[in-house]
Each structure stands twice: as structure tokens, then as C-alpha cells.
Chains A and B, each alone.
Chain A
Amino acid sequence: MASQIVIDPLTRVEGHMKVEATVENGVVKEAKSSGMMYRGLENVLIGRDPRDAARIMQRICGVCPTSHGLTAAFALDEVYGVSGAITDNGRILRNLIQGANFVQSHILHFYQLAALDYVDVTAVADYRGSDPDLARVREFIARGHLGPFVPRYEGDYRLSKKENVAAVKHYVQALNMRRIAHEAVAIFGGKMPHNMSIVAGGVTASSDIDKIAAFLWRIERLIDFINGCYLPDVLMVAERYSDYFDIGAGCRQLMSFGVFDLDSDPDLTRRRRWLPQGIVGADLKLRRMDPEKITEEVTSSWFRETGPVHPYDGTTVPERDKAGAYSWIKSPRYAGEVMEVGPLARIAVAYAAGDPEVKRQVDAVLGHFKATPAALFSVLGRHAARAIETKLVAEKLKQWVLQLQPGQPSCTDFNLDVTARGMGLHEAPRGALGHWIRVEDGKVTNYQAVVPTTWNAGPVDAKGQPGPIEQSLIGTRVRDERNPFELVRIVRAYDPCLSCAVHVVTPKGEDLGRFLVGGA
């Protein structure tokens, strides 16, 4: 007997993602992951000054504006011929902005988006202690204000009461930590959200001793939180939910574009990056990545059929009634293969490349659970990789900020009137992000962004290969079809982001007419 489970929307941040799973005898037979919002924002850029891309592309997403701004800047560096001329200060400032952004995004993902799949917030309902954070949460629950803590699927909470209460305390602390991380981004990004200082040729922000000290102080506090709360909480969840090392393996092909530049080689595929570029499979052997082999197809997407095309030649023409289509997300492929992107991919590629710090951290976690590297391909593997990355990035930030040379230039000049094309290959917190731009006589003629969630949440392709999230779901045993928390946990571990939504306050069940204060 086959039945359907529908979860819509799922992402908790704005934007809509729908997952449909067909379950037979308690096991997922078929999974369809759909983006329910049309994303064609690249079209807005056509005909504009290319420099606008570093501002406009930040607006396509409410979760990763910083990453889009930086990736656009990398593409523009190539358009204006300055990829090889980024100064050390410009390079380091970009790393600091993006690194602090990784830290805030990963803390948000674990505590505010994912933790409540594992932590039972209602354990605080009868809290009698004097901790003000926990008392506030208790009051929220007493007033029926579960607002920030739902949606959640009920049941299967396995932490002890004491552990749940401690984790809820960390949930509240994480909100404060994110404020600190945002301030760190804004010190050199100029503003958060939607940074102002990211430009082609570098960063407009200057560096002085005050800013360096302000940044350093914030990073120190974040490191304390990561070591004292975030990593231990991930390990605690992994202890109690260890079966999630066996759930949600996915496509077992991981790809990273690389992030955190260590030099300014004009060729982004040769540029040295702290987290390197590459591809690894289940054997954890490193393969080189060639961006020419990236294509997107739209077999199952509501876009006009174009066949697999490279992003330089991609189009974004909606076709709402297309037969067989079920998603607004395209299907990106590498040499025709399905690829997972994200922290797991970055950490696995760095591990395969032999980075000693990454290897030490990963081996320590795997050793703790007496697990092999194969366990990384799982729900918990993705959470663990994200936590390890947060720790290592924060420690790098501490070193990099001290490499700034106050007074030295952070930006390079260029000629505006160009006919050229450019590629930005970078990593957002949630995975590989690529921008491809064509420019004629100083005006944009084509722009395509291939974003992390497109790689992870894309639909079935022409060869019948499901996307990574779909593959993670297929074969999963669902204990209670009315309460499919296993599936929610699998999808959430990818940190999906489809937030291209319109921000419209829609007070449900309320007649807003009574708030009318001006006629049209």
C-alpha cells in the first residue's frame, strides 16, 4: 500500500521548499524535492553596469547575501582583468568577511534551524532555576508562544531532561553569538545584512588597529562558544542519535569550489585556497575539478527545455505547464554526475588533500565514535563536518586578521569599458556557489548563478538520476508516516536555502482592512 507524505514548506527561513516522499511498507521508494519559488533574478542584471552585480546579487537571497556579493566580485575580477592583481589586504579582508559569515551561518543552522529536531524545548516548561534565559523560554512556553520553536515534528526526543535544558540555554546563547558574528562581518563588510564594501578588485573597507582589535575580540568570544557549546552539543546529539550515522547517505560524490584565498592566481582553478577545490567520492580520493564540465539541465524543471548547457550559455525562461516537471530548481551536473556540495564536501576534499588540521579534527570525531570515514556520508556526518569547519574557520580568522597591513591598499583600479566574460567560483556556507557573467561594451548580456541548494535539492535529470537530497531520502525507513521526523532531519542536515521569497507580512486569519490608514 503506497501513501504520500507532503511537507511544505520545510526550510524555516523564508522561501519554500517542498519534499514529497512516496512510502511503501514504511520505506521511502520515491522522493521529489521541489523548489516552489521561481528564481530568475539573474534576468534583472541584463543590460546593467556589471558592477551592480556585487550589490544586486546580494539581494537574491535572505540567507547568503554575503556569499553572493563575494562570488559576483570574483566573476567581476575576471571581467575587468584584475583577478591576479588583488592586493593582500583585499584578499584577506574578503576572507575575514566570508569567514565571519560562515561562523554566523553555521551557528544559526545548528541551533535555530536544526537543533530542535533533536532537542525537546518543552523540557524547560517547568524550569524552576534562576537562569534568566531559561526563565524567559519558560514564560514563552507558558504563554503558548512556541513561535520561535516550531515547526517541529513530535516525538523521538532522546536527550535527558538535564541535557535538553542545557541545549535550550545554548539555543538562547547562540542568538547572542550570532549578533557578535554579525558585528564581526560588519566591521569590514560595512553593513550587515547586504555588505557595502565588497567590490570588483577587492574590498573598499580599510583596516586599522581599532578594527582589527574589535574583530579579534569578537572572534575570541565566538571560539569560546564553539569549543564550549557548539562542538560538545553536536557530539552529544551524535551520541544519542547515532543511528543517524547510517541514514541519509546521498549520492556519495562531493564537490567543493574552494574558499579562503591564500594567493591571487588569476586562474580560480589554480588559486591556492585554505579549503581547496576538488571532488571526492566514497573512496575519499581527491579528483581535480574542471569548471568546463559543469552543466545545468531542466528535464524536471519548469523552464524551457535547453538540454545540458554550461552556465555561460544558460537561460532562465519559465514554462509553468511543462509536462513531467516538478520543480523551479534546475539540475546542475558535473560531467553528467550528481554532486553534493556543502561543509561535508569542503571538509572531505580538504581531508583527501591532506590538510593536517582538518585531518586531525575529522579523525578525532570519527575515533570518538569508532567510525570509518564512510560514516561521514550521513545526517550526522553533515552536522559534524559543519561544526568542525566552524571551529577551524574561527581559528583561521584569528590568524588572518593579524596579517592585515594597516594603510596598505585593499582595492585595485580597472577600466570599465570592457567586452569580456567572468567566472566566480566560491563557497557559500551551504556549498559551492558559481556566478557566470558575459559583458559587452560595459553592459551585462548574460548572468547565471548556480547556487548550493540547486546542486543539493535539484530534481531528476534526463538520465533518471535523482538529486542528492532525493537520493538521501530514498530507502529511508519511516516509523510514523504522519510524523516523518526522519525525513525532516535528513533534509535539514543539508542546510537547504531557497529564500528568494517576497517578504510580505501575511497575518493569517486576520482582516488587515482594519489597519488601513491610507487609500490607494
Chain B
Amino acid sequence: MDCAAIRAPLLVMAVGNLLREDDGFGLAVLEHLRQVELPETVELFDAGTSIVDLMQVFDRRELLVVLDAVRGGQQPGSLYRFGPEQVQSGALPLDSLHQVGLLETLRLGELVDCRPQRTVVIGCEPERTGLAIGLSDPVRAAVPKAARLVLAELGCAAA
């Protein structure tokens, strides 16, 4: 049973904890995209909170689009687009006790030749990340815009 043989080449992956308000941004974009007719080459995946478990999910994809909350110091609801290589330089001090996050998982994946050809992160500046389900107004308003950005990445016409 080789799952890889039937795997969609384009993966849209939501990362984050829906129990922490705006950290559920990615999942909300995913739900939005579920209403759109997408080509069969696209798979939507809710990765939730277990980043270190994802290697086999993003193995052998042409494109990985990651949706996540991103703190970049801008107004809540601001959207960011960047590649992992753009935040790697100097971003991970070797002497820190950092976490196994997306960037580390992508690197671990390289070790076992298990990686997407290209990765793009679409992030949204959170307003609140307290303990509750539901997005703040500015982040909710950013969801359709983010969905359009994802469709552009996938080469699909905006719905």
C-alpha cells in the first residue's frame, strides 16, 4: 500500500490550536477553502498542534502552503507571506532551547529526504490567543483574503 502514489501534489496545511482563539486562523481558512471547488491536485490538511508528527504528511509534495498565526509586530489581521528560507537565517540561535516547530520539522525532513519541493507560509497577525474557540474580528475579516492568497499560490482563480 503506497499512499504516496495517490497523494495530491499541492498541500494546504493549517497549523495551530483552535482552542486558542486566533491561533485557529489556519483552520478557519481551511474551512473557507472547503467551500471552494478545488482541483484534485489539491489536498487540505488540518495539522493541528503536532508539528513534529508531520513529516510524512508533507513528503513528496510539489508545493506546501502553511497557514499559521505569525507574530510580526503588525496590526492584528495583517497577513504575511514568506518562505521558510527567509526566516532561517539567524532566526534559530544554536544555543537556545527552542521548540520543535515547523522550521525544525522541515529540516528534520531533509535528513530523511522527506520534504516538499517548495514551501510558502501564509501567516496572520493574531489579536488574542487566550483559551477559547473563535477568532477576533480583525483575524476573522482576514480569512477570506488569506483564502484568496492561498488560491493564488495554488494557481487557481479566486472564487
A residues at B contact (CB < 8 Å): 7-15, 38, 40-41, 43-44, 56, 58-63, 65, 104, 108, 112, 132-133, 136-137, 140, 144-148, 150-151, 172, 175-176, 178-179, 182-183, 192-194, 210, 214, 499, 501-513, 515-520
Asked if A520 contacts B48 (CB within 8 A), the reply is no
Interchain residue pairs A-B with the least CB separation, the first 3 = A512-B72, A193-B50, A518-B79
Asked if A504 contacts B112 (CB within 8 A), the reply is no
Docked Cα-Cα span, A444 to B81, in Å, equals 40
Measured between C-beta atoms, what is the minimum distance from B95 to chain A in Å? 7
Asked if B90 contacts A44 (CB within 8 A), the reply is no
Docked Cα-Cα span, A152 to B146, in Å, equals 38
Asked if B90 contacts A146 (CB within 8 A), the reply is no
B residues at A contact (CB < 8 Å): 1, 3, 15-20, 23, 46-56, 59, 68-82, 86-87, 89-104, 107-114, 121-123, 125-126, 129, 131-133, 138, 141-142, 145-146, 149
Asked if A151 contacts B96 (CB within 8 A), the reply is yes
Asked if B87 contacts A62 (CB within 8 A), the reply is no
Measured between C-beta atoms, what is the minimum distance from A516 to chain B in Å? 6
Q: Which of A140, A193, A503, A510 contacts B16 (CB 8 A)?
A: A503
Docked Cα-Cα span, A326 to B23, in Å, equals 26
Taking CB atoms, residues of chain B closer than 8 Å to A10 are 97
Asked if A516 contacts B52 (CB within 8 A), the reply is no
Measured between C-beta atoms, what is the minimum distance from B68 to chain A in Å? 6
Docked Cα-Cα span, A140 to B111, in Å, equals 9
Docked Cα-Cα span, A132 to B74, in Å, equals 43
Taking CB atoms, residues of chain A closer than 8 Å to B141 are 520
Asked if B77 contacts A520 (CB within 8 A), the reply is yes
Asked if A210 contacts B1 (CB within 8 A), the reply is yes
Docked Cα-Cα span, A501 to B23, in Å, equals 10
CB nearest to B123 among chain A residues? A505
Docked Cα-Cα span, A9 to B98, in Å, equals 7
Q: Which of A148, A194, A510, A512 contacts B108 (CB 8 A)?
A: A148
Taking CB atoms, residues of chain A closer than 8 Å to B133 are 44
Asked if A147 contacts B99 (CB within 8 A), the reply is no
CB nearest to A196 among chain B residues? B46
Docked Cα-Cα span, A147 to B95, in Å, equals 10
Asked if A504 contacts B19 (CB within 8 A), the reply is no
Taking CB atoms, residues of chain B closer than 8 Å to A132 are 113
Asked if A133 contacts B19 (CB within 8 A), the reply is no
Taking CB atoms, residues of chain B closer than 8 Å to A151 are 95-98
Q: Which of A150, A172, A502, A512 contacts B80 (CB 8 A)?
A: A512
Docked Cα-Cα span, A10 to B96, in Å, equals 10
Q: Which of B77, B112, B129 contacts A172 (CB 8 A)?
A: B112
Asked if A504 contacts B23 (CB within 8 A), the reply is yes
Asked if B75 contacts A519 (CB within 8 A), the reply is yes
Docked Cα-Cα span, A505 to B100, in Å, equals 11
Measured between C-beta atoms, what is the minimum distance from B158 to chain A in Å? 13
Q: Which of B19, B53, B142 contacts A193 (CB 8 A)?
A: B53
Q: Which of B69, B97, B111, B122 contacts A502 (CB 8 A)?
A: B69
Taking CB atoms, residues of chain A closer than 8 Å to B73 are 511-513
| Further contacts, 8 of them, CB under 8 A, given A14-B51, A136-B111, A151-B97 | A62-B49, A172-B111, A193-B49, A503-B51, A503-B68, A505-B121, A506-B70, A512-B71
Asked if A12 contacts B100 (CB within 8 A), the reply is yes
Q: Which of A14, A133, A147, A505 contacts B107 (CB 8 A)?
A: A147
Residue from A8, A214, A519 with most neighbouring chain B CB atoms (10 Å) = A519
Taking CB atoms, residues of chain B closer than 8 Å to A41 are 19, 131
Asked if A505 contacts B70 (CB within 8 A), the reply is yes
Asked if B131 contacts A15 (CB within 8 A), the reply is no
CB nearest to A8 among chain B residues? B97
CB nearest to A52 among chain B residues? B133
Asked if B48 contacts A510 (CB within 8 A), the reply is no
Asked if A508 contacts B93 (CB within 8 A), the reply is yes
21 interchain pairs (CB within 8 A)?
A: A12-B99, A13-B52, A38-B131, A59-B19, A144-B94, A150-B94, A150-B98, A151-B96, A175-B111, A193-B50, A503-B15, A503-B101, A505-B121, A506-B71, A510-B89, A510-B90, A512-B74, A513-B74, A515-B123, A520-B78, A520-B125
Taking CB atoms, residues of chain B closer than 8 Å to A38 are 131
Docked Cα-Cα span, A61 to B142, in Å, equals 26
Taking CB atoms, residues of chain A closer than 8 Å to B51 are 14, 62, 503
Docked Cα-Cα span, A166 to B47, in Å, equals 32
Measured between C-beta atoms, what is the minimum distance from B20 to chain A in Å? 5
Asked if A515 contacts B72 (CB within 8 A), the reply is yes
CB nearest to A512 among chain B residues? B72
Asked if B80 contacts A516 (CB within 8 A), the reply is yes
Taking CB atoms, residues of chain B closer than 8 Å to A136 are 110-111, 113
Measured between C-beta atoms, what is the minimum distance from A116 to chain B in Å? 12
Asked if B78 contacts A519 (CB within 8 A), the reply is yes
CB nearest to B52 among chain A residues? A13
Taking CB atoms, residues of chain B closer than 8 Å to A510 are 86-87, 89-91
